[in-house]
Amino acid sequence: MKKYCFSLLCLSVTSSPAMADSSSPVFSEATGASNNGKVQTDTPVSASAATHPALPLAKSGTDELITVTGRATPPPEVTDTRYQPTPDASTLRTTTSVLNIPQVVNIVSQQVIRDQEPRNLDDALANVSGITQGNTLAGTQDTIMKRGFGGNRDGSIMHNGMPLIQGRGFNAAANSVEVLKGPSSLLYGIMDPGGVINIVSKKPRLQARTTASVMGWTYGRGKDGFEGMLDSTGPIGKGKLAYRLVLDRIAEDYWRNFGMHQETLIAPSLAWLGKKTQIIAWYEFRDYLYPFDRGTALDPRTGKPLDIPSTRRLDENFNRMTGQSHLASYRSIIASVPDGLLMSISVIIRRLTMPTSCV
């Protein structure tokens, strides 16, 4: 098997033993059941499997058909309710179990996100070791330190395997968060060797399901908040076409003496989920307003914060950041075709509207 990998394209070419040299047949590295000369597995083929000592070798001079079934995204729906993480192919370009991956990978699964209800990426990664929060630029940026490395927009935050340039990447459309630690992050371009963080989006399902939630809260002498979310997915017609629509609206008072946080998310997606071909297209629209609060001031005489309540802001009410962002992504996976070609293409198109007010 020959494998060619690029930043936006991953190709794997396999040939059956009938076409290859009978003395060096190709087998799947993953364990699979053998039935009448056919080997089936749910993980991608590995080139190292040709010399794997634990796998049987074909008899010399015989023509055997080896059928390899590659599991593409999305994973089975039952994994959405498991705490055991299921890796997404957009992070390591494979769906191999985390136990069989030599790199250090931590995954925050959908069930954990559902239980903890994190507000941002910092909250979602609270239980991941080696992760700390950096300078978030007044709470408007995702700044994650990975093993001591990181900064604002350092390229280490990704969306479905591609670099993300938005300030905040985690929202209600996120299905899971995967953290690849260590120098393996250099596989994604020029960046610090601390690691990369991949935010995996929710994918359409052929099983109809609709979830709606409404939350409200109040704190600190009349400071109120509200969030409403709708998540609907299901088939379109009787074929293999499916949709998913995620709507989310947040409006809350800022925790200090003035300010407002508002955010609107519209995230539709479409997918063709065939047995051999899967095509998924996402789109996310965000309209946001954040208070641009840089914290309190220091007393130049003592070098310590001013002796004032922590809830008091010293700037003006118009000191805020507003803007809109548009993000579209596309993925095409061909699990198998007559000539034995496995192809995966991921493309992300971004259109970012810079903040209209930032003082």
Instruction: Give per-residue pLDDT as tens, 28-64.
Output: 333 333 344 333 333 333 333 333 444 444 455 556 6
Residue 40: C-alpha distances to residues 16, 32, 67, 84 (Å): 13, 5, 6, 24
Q: Which residue has the higher pLDDT, 86 or 288?
A: 288
* pLDDT confidence bin for 66, thresholds 50/70/90: low
pLDDT on residue 277 = 81
pLDDT on residue 104 = 83
Closest CA to 142 of 114, 161, 123: 123
pLDDT on residue 78 = 67
Residue 8 CA, chain-centre distance (Å), reads 16
CATH of domain 77-201: 2.170.130.10
The tokens for 262 are 């508002």
User: What are the residue boundaries of the structural domains of the chain, listed by start?
Assistant: 2-51, 77-201, 209-357
Instruction: Give per-residue pLDDT as tens, 194-248.
Output: 888 999 999 999 999 999 999 999 987 778 999 999 999 999 998 899 999 999 9
Q: Report whether the peptide linkage leading into residue 102 is cis, meaning its omega lies within 30 degrees of zero.
A: no
Residue 12 neighbours by CB distance under 10 Å? 21
pLDDT at position 136 over 90? no
pLDDT, mean of residues 321-346: 66
How many residues comprise the chain? 359
The pairing of strands 195-201 and 157-159 is parallel
pLDDT on residue 205 = 92
Average pLDDT over the chain, rounded to an integer = 74
* pLDDT confidence bin for 332, thresholds 50/70/90: confident
Nearest 5°: the CA angle 251, 254, 256 is: 170
pLDDT on residue 165 = 74
Measured distance CA(74)–CA(280) in Å, rounded: 9
pLDDT on residue 316 = 87
Measured distance CA(49)–CA(41) in Å, rounded: 13
Q: Lowest mean pLDDT: which of 10-14, 53-57, 181-185, 200-204?
A: 10-14
Closest CA to 203 of 245, 167, 260, 163: 245
DSSP codes joined into one string, 161-230: TEE--SS----TTEEEEEEEESGGGGGGSS--TTEEEEEEEP---SS-EEEEEEEEEEETTTEEEEEEEE
Q: pTM score, two decimals?
A: 0.71
